[in-house]
């Protein structure tokens, strides 16, 4: 059960560096190859992390028999293609969030993985964080009663230069897929897929969402008030309120160091994180646990949950009028 899992890293940007740094601190994890669109980037990345093989095209990584699992760290628009090619080559995949550009692409990937009996997981590391799992468990066990409202936000002030990928519609830029996916995933972890979605956004001249407010509703009467932004340094907090009390998560709700449970008539109860709240080790360890157990899906980040989040993100974009270039002309 402790067999080494040999990783292949696809793309050499910011998150690939942070993920690989954390991955290499895990027992039983090895990084055997990296692929980039250019040989120079692959080589620089490989030298930096002591990775034995560097490919200047993705195909080399997919054909590498020593690679047990591929980590896809490209911008969103390339997730479908990169993860799809990896799965077609028989490789299990951990794919960065948001899983794809839209729900249609996500369906295609999930179908491919399921048809081939291969592991696929969205890199929604928040769902693997032990303290977030504890929070969800408390809510499921009724600690706050029936959930009535969820609030969560993820906004950064930037500024992001006009040529930054976050401003580029062609690569799935905007606040929603990079940042909004966290508050939406948080609300859906606690309440499931919403029955209604409303949204309002400031749209950039390039056509991506810069500042987005979302109101999700459930037939139970519960609602979630969520936001994401590339132009405002928002609190990055979350709160869940139910009929018997509430949970408050301070700044950094997607990798919390603590949260507080307030229940009517009782002293507030504080829950603290263990080591490493801001680490990608938890999600990497979950992937390795699943692969060793022969599981094709993680119970912590289920594919049906990722699909449901993608449907909500689609609905938000529809409400605010954001369509990526590859979707134009599509129905």
Ligand X SMILES: NC(=O)c1ccc[n+]([C@@H]2O[C@H](COP(=O)([O-])OP(=O)(O)OC[C@H]3O[C@@H](n4cnc5c(N)ncnc54)[C@H](OP(=O)(O)O)[C@@H]3O)[C@@H](O)[C@H]2O)c1
Catalytic residue list: 97
Classify residue 180 by its DSSP letter.
I
Which CB sits closer to ligand X, 173 or 213?
173
20 lies in the site for ligand X, by CB under 6 A? no
151 lies in the site for ligand X, by CB under 6 A? no
Which CB sits closer to ligand X, 67 or 147?
67
Which CB sits closer to ligand X, 47 or 264?
47
In order of 5, 85, 211, 226, 287, the CA distances from 290 in angstroms are 11, 21, 37, 31, 5
As measured in angstroms, the least distance from the Cβ of 301 to ligand X is 12
Q: Strand 245-249 and strand 238-242: pairing? A: antiparallel
Alpha helices for the chain (secondary structure H): 14-23, 39-49, 58-63, 79-88, 103-116, 130-140, 175, 181-191, 281-293, 303-320
Tokens of 72: 């896809």
Tell the burial category of 122 from Cβ atoms under 10 Å away from its Cβ (0-12, 13-18, 19+): buried
158 lies in the site for ligand X, by CB under 6 A? no
Please say whether the beta carbons of 94 and 69 come within 8 A.
yes
306 lies in the site for ligand X, by CB under 6 A? no
As measured in angstroms, the least distance from the Cβ of 9 to ligand X is 9
As measured in angstroms, the least distance from the Cβ of 279 to ligand X is 10
76 lies in the site for ligand X, by CB under 6 A? yes
Please say whether the beta carbons of 55 and 33 come within 8 A.
yes
54 lies in the site for ligand X, by CB under 6 A? no
285 lies in the site for ligand X, by CB under 6 A? no
Which CB sits closer to ligand X, 98 or 139?
98
Three-class secondary structure assignment of 72-87:
ECCCHHHHHHHHHHHH
* Among residues 7, 55, 74, 135, the one that binds ligand X under rule CB under 6 A: 74
As measured in angstroms, the least distance from the Cβ of 84 to ligand X is 13
Q: End-to-end CA distance of the chain: give it in Å, rounded.
A: 46
Chain residues 185-244 in contact with ligand X, contact rule CB under 6 A: none
Tell the burial category of 273 from Cβ atoms under 10 Å away from its Cβ (0-12, 13-18, 19+): middle
Please say whether the beta carbons of 176 and 228 come within 8 A.
yes
* Among residues 29, 32, 41, 297, the one that binds ligand X under rule CB under 6 A: 41
123 lies in the site for ligand X, by CB under 6 A? yes
Chain residues 87-106 in contact with ligand X, contact rule CB under 6 A: 96-97
As measured in angstroms, the least distance from the Cβ of 203 to ligand X is 19
37 lies in the site for ligand X, by CB under 6 A? yes
SS3 319: helix
* Residue whose beta carbon is closest to ligand X: 13
Using the rule CB under 6 A, give the single segment among 35-43, 128-136, 236-244, 256-264 that binds ligand X. Answer: 35-43
14 lies in the site for ligand X, by CB under 6 A? yes
36 lies in the site for ligand X, by CB under 6 A? yes
SS3 98: coil
SS3 248: strand
CA 307, CA 312: separation in Å to the nearest integer?
9
73 lies in the site for ligand X, by CB under 6 A? yes
* Among residues 7, 55, 119, 125, the one that binds ligand X under rule CB under 6 A: 125
Which residues of this chain interact with ligand X, rule CB under 6 A? 11-16, 36-38, 41, 73-76, 78, 96-97, 123, 125, 165, 171, 178
């Amino acid at each position: 059960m402790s067999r080494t899992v040999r990783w292949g890293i696809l793309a050499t940007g910011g998150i690939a560096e942070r993920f690989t740094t954390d991955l290499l601190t895990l027992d039983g994890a090895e990084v055997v190859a990296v692929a980039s669109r250019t040989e120079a980037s692959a080589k620089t990345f490989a030298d930096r992390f002591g990775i034995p093989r560097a490919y200047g095209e993705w195909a080399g990584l997919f054909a590498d028999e020593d690679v047990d699992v591929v980590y896809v760290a490209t911008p969103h628009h390339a997730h479908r293609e990169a993860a799809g090619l990896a799965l077609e080559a028989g490789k299990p995949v951990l794919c960065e969030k948001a899983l794809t550009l839209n729900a249609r692409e996500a369906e295609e990937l999930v179908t491919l993985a399921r048809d081939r009996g291969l592991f696929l997981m969205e890199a929604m590391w928040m769902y693997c964080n032990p303290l977030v799992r504890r929070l969800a468990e408390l809510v499921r066990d009724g600690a706050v009663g029936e959930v009535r409202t969820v609030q969560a936000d993820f906004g950064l002030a930037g500024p992001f230069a006009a040529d930054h990928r976050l401003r580029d519609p062609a690569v799935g830029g905007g606040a929603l897929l990079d940042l909004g996916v966290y508050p939406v995933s948080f609300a859906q972890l606690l309440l499931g897929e919403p029955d209604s979605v409303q949204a309002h956004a400031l749209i950039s001249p390039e056509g991506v969402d810069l500042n987005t407010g979302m109101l999700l509703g459930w037939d139970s009467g519960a609602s979630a008030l969520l936001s994401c932004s590339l132009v405002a340094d928002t609190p990055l907090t979350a709160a869940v309120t139910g009929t018997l009390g509430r949970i408050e998560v301070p700044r950094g709700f997607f990798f919390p160091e603590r949260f507080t449970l307030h229940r009517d008539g009782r002293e507030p109860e504080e829950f603290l994180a263990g080591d490493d709240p801001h680490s990608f080790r938890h999600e990497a360890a979950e992937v390795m646990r699943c692969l060793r157990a022969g599981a094709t899906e993680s119970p912590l980040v289920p594919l049906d949950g990722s699909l449901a989040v993608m449907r909500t993100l689609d609905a938000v974009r529809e409400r605010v009028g954001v369509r990526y270039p590859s979707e134009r002309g599509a129905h």
